[in-house]
Amino acid sequence: MKRNEPVESFRGWGLLGLSTLAISLTLPGQTIGVSPFTDHLIEDLSISATSLSTAYLVGTITGSLAMPSIGRWVDRVGVRKTMLLIATAFSIAIGYMGTVQHLWMLVVGFIGIRMLGQGALSLVGQTSIALWFDEKRGFAFGLSMTASAGLMSLGPLGLTFLINEFGWRWAWIFSACCVMVLLVPATWRWMVDRPESLGQQPDGQTPSPNHVKVKAEQFTVSEALHTRAFWVLTGVMVVSSALITGVTFHHFSLMESAGLTTAQAATVFIPQMLGTIASGFVWAWLTDRTSPRLLLVSCQASLLAAHLSYAWVKPGFGAALYSTLLGINGGSIRALASALYPKWFGTDHIGAIRGVATAFGVGASAVGPLIVAVGFRATGDYATLNFFLALVPAAAFIAALFVKAPRKAMSSPSLYSGEIS
């Protein structure tokens, strides 16, 4: 570099903001963004609640199957091109949701918004952050989780307003325009694949001859799949994804069964979102500073406590406690999944590795509502159901106690990381 040539400032913080915007705009593909439309879809399409749930299940599972391929695509062609393509396709899929007339059309729409929104756009946004930050990765993800959770918490209120004022079909179309107008041009103008593309280093570090940085081990997808750490982390994510999505989908039934009115049940989302925002930042920040095992264990402890606390849910403190614990689990698992996959497995193949993990997470979110519905029929009340649901995070809690950071085999190809006691 010439002496008088200006040095470009570190672009990572700006791209953190752009990636956070992308993650926030996945709202129309998230369960919390679909829930304001459910009653209107049932009424206007003349379908049952069971048919709607089945369509959501089929759409989500089908969409999850594409995640490994999308992850490999991110690694191969880069974040910028992938985000441009996904954001454009996602906006089209959201707009399509405003035109559905039949159940089969609804299934197609759910495939589109769940695959492209909840799955792909979240994946590529988190991959960008992982590539631009290393030692400050936990802090960066903490900021992103806090901001995106805060923005998405306002989504249901905004969507409800649009539905009441303009109808549910126009609410979908307005949401599509937001993604197209806000994200696509910004991605085209500012997104950069990696810091190395600009001659920069992760975290904005300046290379120094006195500072030798040891690069983290880089795992391929196959190598990652042969580690205990991958399956424990993915299993914990699957448990949280399935159960939180399940109880969120049936939120109003759960709350009204405990004696809350519909209006009171709606306000219970507030402490849940506050818990999500706070825990997302704290757990992500702690990934740079404390044991991942402790963080995973505490994450599942919050979900275990949430299900057990449902027995004391009533208007006021009981409902707020239950909701806050759910929020803590939701925010902490998002933060841990975002930070630990690149921390443990490196960034050379992070898109493909996260793609496989995301497929399991999205698939789990598809069966969550069905688990709660079938469980309620089997037990007859939500308090008993929550007691049995608590056994699942209890098992994940125990598994997390034995997780270790993965290491590549040094001497024998039959030894894989995480398998050595």
pLDDT at 14: 94
Instruction: Tell whether the model's pLDDT for residue 221 goes beyond 50.
Output: yes
51: left (phi over 0), alpha (psi -120 to 50) or beta: alpha
What are residue 208's phi and psi, to 5 degrees?
A: -130, 140
pLDDT at 365: 86
Q: Domain for residue 205, yes or no?
A: no
Instruction: Tell whether the model's pLDDT for residue 419 goes beyond 80.
Output: no
Do residues 385 and 379 lie in contact, with contact meaning Cβ atoms separated by under 8 Å?
yes
Nearest 5°: CA angle at 276, between 358 and 181? 65
Q: Domain for residue 44, yes or no?
A: yes
Q: Domain for residue 34, yes or no?
A: yes
Q: What is the pLDDT of residues 330-376, one digit of tens each?
A: 999 988 998 899 999 998 898 899 899 989 998 898 888 888 888 98
Q: Domain for residue 228, yes or no?
A: yes
Do residues 122 and 26 lie in contact, with contact meaning Cβ atoms separated by under 8 Å?
yes
Q: Domain for residue 405, yes or no?
A: no
Q: Domain for residue 385, yes or no?
A: yes
Q: Measure the CA dihedral 268/273/276/281, to 10°.
A: -150
> Which residues, including other chains, have CB under 8 Å from residue 132's CB and lie 6 or more apart?
11, 12, 15, 16, 140, 194, 195, 202
> Which residues, including other chains, have CB under 8 Å from residue 378's CB and lie 6 or more apart?
385
Do residues 309 and 321 lie in contact, with contact meaning Cβ atoms separated by under 8 Å?
yes
Do residues 53 and 369 lie in contact, with contact meaning Cβ atoms separated by under 8 Å?
yes
Do residues 338 and 129 lie in contact, with contact meaning Cβ atoms separated by under 8 Å?
yes
Q: Domain for residue 350, yes or no?
A: yes
Q: Domain for residue 3, yes or no?
A: no
CATH number of the structural domain spanning residue 154? 1.20.1250.20
Q: Which of 11-25, 205-219, 248-262 has the lowest mean pLDDT?
A: 205-219
The rounded distance, in Å, linking the Cα atoms of 35 and 27 is 11
Q: What is the pLDDT of residues 243-283, one digit of tens each?
A: 998 898 888 888 889 998 877 887 888 898 899 889 988 99
Q: Which of the four pLDDT bands, split at 50, 70 and 90, describes residue 219?
A: very high
Total domains, the chain: 1
Q: What is the pLDDT of residues 111-150, one digit of tens each?
A: 999 999 988 999 999 999 999 998 888 889 889 988 888 8
The rounded distance, in Å, linking the Cα atoms of 419 and 417 is 5
The rounded distance, in Å, linking the Cα atoms of 30 and 117 is 7
The rounded distance, in Å, linking the Cα atoms of 316 and 304 is 21
Residues spanned by the domain of 32: 12-197+217-400
